Amino acid sequence: MENYNLAFPEGRCLSANDDISSIIKQIRELLSELRDRGIDDGDIIGLLSGKAKNARVRLGPDRMLVLADENPIKIKLTPVESTLYKLVLKYPDGINADELWKYREELSDIYGNMTVYDDMENILNIIENICDEDKAAWYTNISRIKRKITGKLGKLSAEKYIIKRCNDGLYRIQARAL
C-alpha cells in the first residue's frame, strides 16, 4: 500500500497507513483547533469544499465601511465605531478587551483621523471612556456595529464582518482589510 501524507500545521500529518479511528481522531483535533482560532463551522465547511472565500472589507477616512464581496455594500459608522473596527481589523490575531489600555495611543491616533474634532482633550476623554475598566463603551459600540452589519446583510452573511469574541476570549473580525 502506498503511503500518502497530508500536510497539516506544526508538522502533523495523516497517513493512509493509519487506522481509520486514528485519522478521525486527528481530524477532530484539527477541527477543534480551527474552532478555537475563531473559524466557525460554516467557514470550515467552505474550506473543506474548496468554496471558501476570504471576505474583504475597507474602512475609509469617511467612516464608510465597504464590504467588498457583498455587491459592495456600504455602511456608515460613527467615529468611535470606526475607530474600534479599524483597531480590531488591524490585529487579525485578536484584541483582548481587558487590555484595551495597551492600545490607548493607537486608539487616539485612529480616532483623531476619524473625527472632525481638533480638541485633543475631547479625543483623550473619548479614548479613556473606551479603555475604561467596565468596558461599557466597548461593548455598546461593538453591539452597534454588529446591528448595523447584520441589518444590511442578515445574520448568516454578517458573521464574517462583525467583531466577535472567539473561544479564546479575543475579539476578531474574519474579514481582511483591502
Distance CA 153, CA 65 (A): 13
Residues 88-109, mean pLDDT to the nearest whole number: 95
Q: Which domain holds residue 108?
A: 56-177
Per-residue pLDDT, averaged over 43-51, amounts to 64
- Same domain for 105 and 20: no
Residues 146 and 96 both lie in one domain: yes
> pLDDT class for 20, splitting at 50, 70, 90?
confident
Instruction: Examine the fold and report which residue of 32, 49, 66 is the final residue of a domain before the chain moves on.
Output: 49
Q: Are 72 and 42 in the same domain?
A: no
Same domain, 67 and 133: yes
Q: Which three cell numbers stand for residue 107?
A: 486608539
Are residue 61 and residue 35 in the same domain, yes or no?
no
Please give the Cα distance from 89 to 173 (Å, whole number).
6
Residue listed under C-alpha cell 475631547: 122
Do both 68 and 148 map to the same domain? yes
Residue found by looking up cell 480638541 in the block: 119
- When pLDDT is averaged across residues 84-104 and rounded to a whole number, the result is 96
Beta 164-165 vs 73-76: how paired, if at all?
A: unpaired
Task: Identify whether the C-beta of residue 170 lies closer than 8 Å to the C-beta of residue 87.
Answer: no
Residues 45 and 60 both lie in one domain: no
- Give the pLDDT confidence score for residue 4 in this predicted structure: 39
Does 83 lie in the same domain as 15? no
Q: Locate 73 and state its grid cell.
A: 455594500
- Comparing CA positions, the residue from 61, 73, 60 lying closest to residue 158 is 73
Asked if 16 and 84 sit in the same domain, the reply is no
> Is 145 or 53 the better-scoring residue by pLDDT?
145
pLDDT in tens, 116-175: 877 889 899 999 999 999 999 999 999 999 999 999 988 888 889 999 999 999 999 999
36 vs 49: which has the higher pLDDT: 36
Name which of 162, 147, 161, 81 is nearest 114 in CA terms. 81
Number of domains in the chain: 2
Q: Which of 49, 68, 85 is the last residue of a domain?
A: 49
Tell me the percentage of the chain whose pLDDT exceeds 70. 83
Q: What is the pTM of this model?
A: 0.70
